């Protein structure tokens, strides 16, 4: 199997422009931005924050896979254009999610790295389209999927012709209800041991609340993960999705300072 350490001993290096994830660099990439792109003013503030922290990669959802049809569904193409503007104006790389195959071409065109969300991990239309895309893919683990199913979803990308795949653990559903999901660090150890793909951690969606994100981030960095995905919003209290878990910009700044001694390079 193409994702296995038997097939390839070294962790793959996934590159987009001058940014790289995995490989031998042992850098920890911190990917951040709001859950959803909501307006030009909002995403402009996010982009400025990233630049001021020397971060390279802005993440924001434009096609949101919401649990309820009555919740904010994302700005769609308008959001993609705002991300493109941020990329242009600030020299940032952008990552955004493809929710279903109907808008996959637009997402591929407007992103530097394509996110496949937890709910879409099994979507063969998306997997097959991304396998043919000439862009890296960040594949999130379905919250009800086993590690084997997760790795097999990655195999669809790899065997279909895309060797630029990053795995993302974002919490799985357990009996626990006090936290939104349960961050599976055992699973991360498994993926690091048995696969050759870079692994990044998303403590924001796992915990679902702001309060412990910095501590979780430190734990993830100590495990030697290749990157982190942390949601931050200029004003989390008015966020249109995932309001409880998004950090303030001040908190993201503090988080970066806190993990610097633990990480080799952020
Ligand atoms: C997101 O990244 O905003 C998101 C919807 O995450 P997940 O697919 O992990 O639920
Ligand atoms: Mn979110």
Taking a C-beta distance cutoff of 8 angstroms, is the pair 224, 246 a contact?
A: no
* Ligand 1 touching residue 208 (CB < 6 A): no
Q: Is the CB of 35 under 6 A from ligand 1?
A: yes
**What does the pLDDT look like over 68-119, one tens digit per residue?**
999 999 999 999 999 999 999 999 999 999 999 899 999 999 999 999 999 9
Name the token pair of 37.
């792109």
Q: Whose CA is nearest to atom 6 of ligand 1?
A: 117
218: pLDDT strictly greater than 70: yes
pLDDT at 25 over 90: no
CB atoms within 10 A of CB 26: 12
Q: What is the pLDDT of residues 127-141, one digit of tens each?
A: 999 999 999 999 999
Residue 157 banded pLDDT, cuts 50, 70, 90: very high
Q: Measured from the CB, is residue 23 less than 6 Å from ligand 1? A: no
Domains, in order of start, for the chain: 13-63+73-259 (3.20.20.70)
Q: In angstroms, what is the C-alpha Rg of the chain?
A: 17
Q: What is the pLDDT of residue 264?
A: 67
Ligand 2 centre and the CA of 57: distance in Å? Answer: 16
Q: Residue 93 has what pLDDT?
A: 98
H/E run at residue 196: none
Q: What whole-number percentage of the chain has pLDDT above 70?
A: 99
Q: What is the mean pLDDT of residues 235-255?
A: 98
- The rounded Å distance from CA 98 to ligand 2 centre is 13
How many C-beta atoms lie closer than 10 Å to residue 244's C-beta?
14
Over 80: is that where the pLDDT of 265 sits?
no
Secondary structure element (H or E) that encloses residue 95, with its range: strand 93-98
Q: Nearest bound ligand to CA 118?
A: 1
The rounded Å distance from CA 25 to ligand 1 centre is: 27
Half-sphere exposure of 225 (CA within 13 A, CB side): 31
| 205 CB near ligand 1 (under 6 Å) | yes
* Shortest-distance ligand to the CA of residue 240: 2
Element (H, E) at 3: none
Alpha helices, H only, the chain: 40-52, 77-90, 104-110, 124-132, 147-159, 185-194, 203-207, 213-222, 249-259
3 state DSSP class of 94: strand
Average pLDDT of the chain?
Answer: 96
Q: What is the pLDDT of residue 156?
A: 98
Return the pLDDT at 27.
Answer: 86
User: Among 104, 139, 107, which residue's Cα sits nearest to residue 14?
Assistant: 139
* Element spanning 179, H or E: none
For residue 115, which atom of ligand 1 is closest to its CA? 2
Ligand 1 centre to CA of 205 (Å) is 7
Which ligand is nearest the CA of 115, by number? 1
In contact, 12 and 22? CB cutoff 8 Å:
yes
Find out whether the beta carbon of 118 lies less than 6 Å from any atom of ligand 1: yes
The DSSP annotation for 6-66 comes to TT-SSPPEEEETTEEEETT----EEEEE-SB---HHHHHHHHHHHHHTT--EEE-BSS---
Tell me how many degrees the CA angle 102-146-141 measures, rounded to the nearest 5. 40
Number of CB atoms found within 10 A of residue 114's CB: 25
Query: What ipTM describes this predicted complex?
Result: 0.98
Cβ(170) – ligand 1 distance below 6 Å: yes
- Supply φ then ψ for residue 207, to 5 degrees: -75, -45
CB-based contact 115:140 (threshold 8 Å) = yes
């Amino acid at each position: 199997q193409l994702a296995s350490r038997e097939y390839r001993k070294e962790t793959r290096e996934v590159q987009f422009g001058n940014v790289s994830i995995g490989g031998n660099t042992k850098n920890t990439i911190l990917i951040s931005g709001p859950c959803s792109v909501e307006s030009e003013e909002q995403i402009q503030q996010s982009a400025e924050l990233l630049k001021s922290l020397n971060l390279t990669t802005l993440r924001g959802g434009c096609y949101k896979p919401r649990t309820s049809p009555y919740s904010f569904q994302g700005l769609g193409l308008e959001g993609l254009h705002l991300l493109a503007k941020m990329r242009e104006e600030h020299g940032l790389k952008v990552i955004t999610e493809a929710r279903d195959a109907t808008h996959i071409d637009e997402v591929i065109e407007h992103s530097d790295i394509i996110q496949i969300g937890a709910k879409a991990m099994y979507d063969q239309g998306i997997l097959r389209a991304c396998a043919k895309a000439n862009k890296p893919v960040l594949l999130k683990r379905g919250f009800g999927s086993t590690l084997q199913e997760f790795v097999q979803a990655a195999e669809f990308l790899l065997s279909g012709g895309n060797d630029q795949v990053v795995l993302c653990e974002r919490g799985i559903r357990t009996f626990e209800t006090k936290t939104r999901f349960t961050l599976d660090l055992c699973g991360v150890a498994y993926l690091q041991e048995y696969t050759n793909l870079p692994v990044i951690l998303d403590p924001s969606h796992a915990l679902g609340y702001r309060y412990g994100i910095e501590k979780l981030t430190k734990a993830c960095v100590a495990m030697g993960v290749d990157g982190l995905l942390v949601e931050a919003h200029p004003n989390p209290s008015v966020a249109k999705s995932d309001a409880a878990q998004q950090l303030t910009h001040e908190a993201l700044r503090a988080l970066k300072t806190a993990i610097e001694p633990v990480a080799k390079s952020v």
